[in-house]
Amino acid sequence: MRYEAPRTLDQAVELMSAESGLARVLAGGTDLLVQLRSERIEPDLIVDIKRIDGMSAITAERGGFRIGAAVSGAVLGEHEGVTALWPGVVEAANLIGSTQVQGRATMVGNLCNASPAADAVPALIAAAAQVAIAGPNGRREIPVESMVLSPGKNALEKGEIVESLYLPARPERSGDAYLRFIPRTEMDIAVVSAGVSLTLDEGGRITAARVGLGAVAPRPLLVEAAASAIVGTNLDEAALDALAAAASAACDPIDDKRGTIEYRVDVAGVLAKRAANIAYARAGGSR
Amino acid sequence: MSQIHVSTKINGDATEYLCEPDETLLDVLRDRLGMTGTKEGCGTGDCGACSVTLDGRLVCSCLVLGAEAEGCEVGTIEGVAEGEALHPLQTKFLEHAALQCGVCTPGFLVAAKSLLERNSDPSEEEVRYWLAGNLCRCTGYDKIIRAVLDTAKEMRSA
């Protein structure tokens, strides 16, 4: 195995493209080093992207924020601007692992690892985040919900590297929230999770919403029917029930030791409701 | 495999070493530099026994490659006491009997020191969450938490 720490993104892409064997990007390493140790993967090349300019930066852009691929959870959580604009995304990212893991783990890594239960991803889906990708054929941007294809498989082509995530600007009276269920109080993998983002008009009526669900299907889901169930409402009881029903209907979970199918389907609805209530309150809505 | 030459600072001292590309910082510290205060527990970032600071951030050294430390500042348990003078956390761990077998202790001390550098007056809940990634199978945690809170109190009044 070779270790390279290029100084530019172009060099990184070139290294990743030129490698005929297995090449892996190293940012926080909290998934990669575990996979190396267990010999689940045996890469021929590791490209550490932390020496590349801008990869560790959070930059204000068009009223939103661009989060570099090497920004750790700890750095993200200390950023007042992102925390104020997208509190649900930050709380989701900060739920991953321990203080030690937060010191290294990145949201982009959480996304690229392509776990159906990744904590950051449903919140990023609700936030309509965009993924900026650099590759041998140039740059492209894709919506975050297109990134995870199946457990462990992401949408990157040979030689491609995620450069950053873009969290968009938001209108007045917007809020987001993320909740996960785990049987412990911390340091666990989501059994079910839900992220909700919404925007209100002056009367507290929801004008736009997005709902993301995690750990209830082979990949994190954008549930448009759940969002439609609350748009145009003041998040009254009937709207919340319709939201829960739509969220549950979208689930296609596995049965495992952490949760049964029935349990996950039911809890997805409950968490979607609770996250929507928090997002509604954060947007300044009152009922 | 050709070895990688790394220049770094460990506990303030300029240090150079050679390591394999797939060798962790934990293995470098223990096996190449003889700094065995940092312990290996799980090797997968779950137990916190190998906690060190990397450019001031608390991390698991088992989840860092030795090669990544190039140009970085590493802080280990060996840098916590000043010569023979124990750090207040070490004194309080002894006073409160916050250790039994001792394997987790270096990790707890490095992690707790990192907390107190950021927050001189943490609540019990904040201490428990901060240290949630440090596992101890002996003490039941209460003595450790009390030792950290007592240290914080003493350092505030010092």
Percent of chain A surpassing pLDDT 90: 98
Say if residue B2's pLDDT is above 90.
no
Give dist(CA B101, CA B87) in Å, integer. Answer: 20
Do A186 and B24 lie within an 8 Å CB cutoff? no
Q: Which residues pair with A197 in a beta bridge?
A: A176, A210
Do A104 and B1 lie within an 8 Å CB cutoff? no
Looking at CA atoms only, how far is residue A244 from chain B in angstroms? 31
Residue B89 is predicted with a pLDDT of 98
| Contact by Cβ (8 Å): A15, A23 | yes
Residue B158 is predicted with a pLDDT of 84
B41 touches chain A (CB under 8 A): no
Q: What is the pLDDT of chain A when averaged over all its residues? A: 97
Amino acid in position A51: R
β-strand pairing of B73-75 with A174-181: unpaired
B130 touches chain A (CB under 8 A): yes
Tell me the pLDDT tens digit for each residue of A147-176: 999 999 999 999 999 999 999 999 999 999
Say if residue B32's pLDDT is above 70.
yes
Q: Which residues of B touch A5 (CB under 8 A)?
A: 67-68, 70
Tell me the pLDDT tens digit for each residue of A185-214: 888 999 999 999 999 999 999 999 999 999
Q: Which of A227, A228, A190 is nearest to A212 (CA)?
A: A227
Q: At what angle do helices B88-95 and B142-157 cross, to 10 degrees?
A: 130
Mean pLDDT for B66-92 is: 97
Give dist(CA B54, CA B70) in Å, integer. Answer: 11
B132 touches chain A (CB under 8 A): yes
Tell me the pLDDT tens digit for each residue of B91-144: 999 999 999 999 999 999 999 999 999 999 999 999 999 999 999 999 999 999
Residue B1 is predicted with a pLDDT of 60
| Reported pTM | 0.97
Do B65 and A29 lie within an 8 Å CB cutoff? yes
Residue A10 is predicted with a pLDDT of 98
Q: Which among A25, A98, A102 is the top mutation candidate for probing chain B, defined by the most B β-carbons within 10 Å of its own β-carbon?
A: A98
Mean pLDDT for B35-54 is: 98
Q: Which residues of A touch B63 (CB under 8 A)?
A: 28-30, 33-34, 100-101, 104
Q: Which residues of A touch B130 (CB under 8 A)?
A: 99
Element (H, E) at A142: strand A138-143
